[in-house]
Amino acid sequence: MEVHLYDTTLRDGTQREGLSLSVADKLRIARELDRFGMRYIEGGWPGSNPKDAAFFRAAAQQQWDARIAAFGSTRRANTPAASDANLAALLEARTPVVTLVGKSSVLHVTHVLETTRDENLAMIGDSVALMKQHGKEVIYDAEHFFDGFREDPAYALATLAAAARAGADWLVLCDTNGGSLPDWISHVVRHVSAEFATPLGIHTHNDSELAVANSLVAIQAGARQVQGTINGYGERCGNANLISIVPNLQLKLGYACVAPEQLSRLTELSRTVSEIANLNPDEHAAYVGRSAFAHKGGIHVAAVAKVEHSYQHIDPTLVGNQKRVVVSELSGRGNIRMRADELGIDSQGLERDVLDRVKLLESRGFQFEAAEGSFELLVRRAAADYRAPFELLDVMIVVEQRRDLPMLAEATVKVRVGTTIYHTAAEGDGPVNALDQAMRKALLPSYPELSTVSLVDYKVRILDPEAATAATTRVLIEAAQGDQRWSTVGCSSNIIEASWQALVDSLELPLLRQREQRQAVTADLLLAEA
């Protein structure tokens, strides 16, 4: 059985505090939603602001597989529908679908709209009828329906009847305050389904952390359209998260939402939208988070190595994600072996030594979960044929404050490359930047490829704040070279020492990788000549 997906990220999602999208952003997200297979994409409220009106003008010039919807409210009280400015703006949006929101709760009719019950019913019917006269597919969103049904079920049903009589194509029941529980949602949807032939939809909010669950039980109770947003973005605690709803419906409950190849883009969709919205992705989000299929405990990893689904509820590739093995002090030898295999390096016979080293360093404050580059170096350094591409012999950093001038940082390093010792100095914006510059000055004559390596992130965490200025500090550095990224870690009560530990790792790792690649190419050439 098919469930129709209705995305309202571009309207309801943007009501999230701190989230703002430009017209270009909205068009980019709409394209991603269209590629994914959303049946309906709600673009905004054209009568509310110029940005949404601009989106609809741009959208009207493009081709879409999805049906673009414009959102607005029913006519004002005691105002003819044909003269209502909000309804006129909906028609000007030139969308094939119009979503109208109306009141289902007596409380809202009498105290918010400050009108009568009968006038509210007329507002609903007149507004839907006008849109149908202009050939629109009309989705009627019954706002506060579940609360209204609790207050006065007869009147709540009467509001739906007004929309249905006027020709609404969908009746969507909204848990606007997000306070309903699944059993109430299920009960009400079953009751309404028995009363109306018009297909039902569900629109829930997450104020009780139940928006996904409430959406699922509504579908099981008879709803055939589900509304929500990508990553659950929305006002207050957010809307129902389509990123969780879609795989639950399709993989767990057997409903048809999108094609399998579109579902495999779920992780990409989630991360792309978060990037466009300038919000950090939730690494622990169900299905699509980086940690969603990450295995850390030694017993878990040992089981997954034998039978993958022993600790995974689905095959992560179905949603475009992947299994990951995390290395930490809780690991077993299986973690070391599997993670090394994922990195493409041979750990055969080295697992115990590497594991002991991991546990020792983590007891001192290091952490390798977020520093997989440093873990890779532990494995490479444990190999019998390991040769360090360079050795840092001495470091001195001077920070000087001169009157009326910015604080000056200067680093001096002594580095051995083969049999040559380089003694260099450099200034920087701070001690870490000065150290980075001095290291590069020493290494670039021997390793010019490091000129394409850049540091893209630097994080500091205090591990024992009660020690005040003597606290142990953990430093994470993220480096990049082209499309490749890696993170390295350092830990010390001296923040400069922790920084150079992470910095040295960040520069050594690409050199070891490139050395291995050159050796592989040479071996292939020799084999071909033979």
Q: Which helix (H) or strand (E) holds 41?
A: strand 40-44
What is residue 328's predicted lDDT score, i.e. its pLDDT?
A: 58
Q: Distance (Å, rounded) from C-alpha 84 to C-alpha 94?
A: 17
Q: DSSP 3-state assignment of 107?
A: helix
What is residue 160's predicted lDDT score, i.e. its pLDDT?
A: 98
Per-residue pLDDT 10s for the chain (530 aa) are: 999 999 999 999 999 999 999 999 999 999 999 999 999 999 999 978 899 999 999 999 999 999 999 999 999 999 999 999 999 999 999 999 999 999 999 998 999 989 999 999 999 999 999 999 999 999 999 999 999 999 999 999 999 999 999 999 999 999 999 999 999 999 999 999 999 999 999 999 999 999 999 999 999 999 999 999 999 999 999 999 999 999 999 999 999 999 999 999 999 999 999 988 988 889 899 999 988 887 766 676 667 667 777 788 999 999 999 877 666 556 677 777 777 777 777 778 888 888 888 888 878 888 777 788 888 888 888 888 889 999 999 999 998 877 777 778 899 999 999 999 999 999 988 888 999 999 999 999 999 999 999 888 888 888 777 777 777 888 989 999 988 888 899 999 888 899 989 999 999 999 998 888 888 777 667 777 76
What is residue 331's predicted lDDT score, i.e. its pLDDT?
A: 63
What is residue 88's predicted lDDT score, i.e. its pLDDT?
A: 96
Region of 404 on the Ramachandran plot (φ > 0 left; ψ -120 to 50 alpha; else beta):
left
What residue spans define the domains of the chain? Answer: 4-258
Q: Distance (Å, rounded) from C-alpha 439 to C-alpha 417?
A: 12
What is residue 305's predicted lDDT score, i.e. its pLDDT?
A: 65
Backbone angles phi, psi at 178, to 5 degrees: 65, 25
Q: Distance (Å, rounded) from C-alpha 476 to C-alpha 498?
A: 9
Q: DSSP 3-state assignment of 221?
A: helix
Amino acid at 510: P
What is residue 304's predicted lDDT score, i.e. its pLDDT?
A: 65
Q: Distance (Å, rounded) from C-alpha 162 to C-alpha 485?
A: 58
What is residue 149's predicted lDDT score, i.e. its pLDDT?
A: 97
Which residue intervals of 285-385 are DSSP H helices?
298-306, 333-343, 351-363, 372-382
What fold, for 4-258? TIM Barrel (3.20.20)
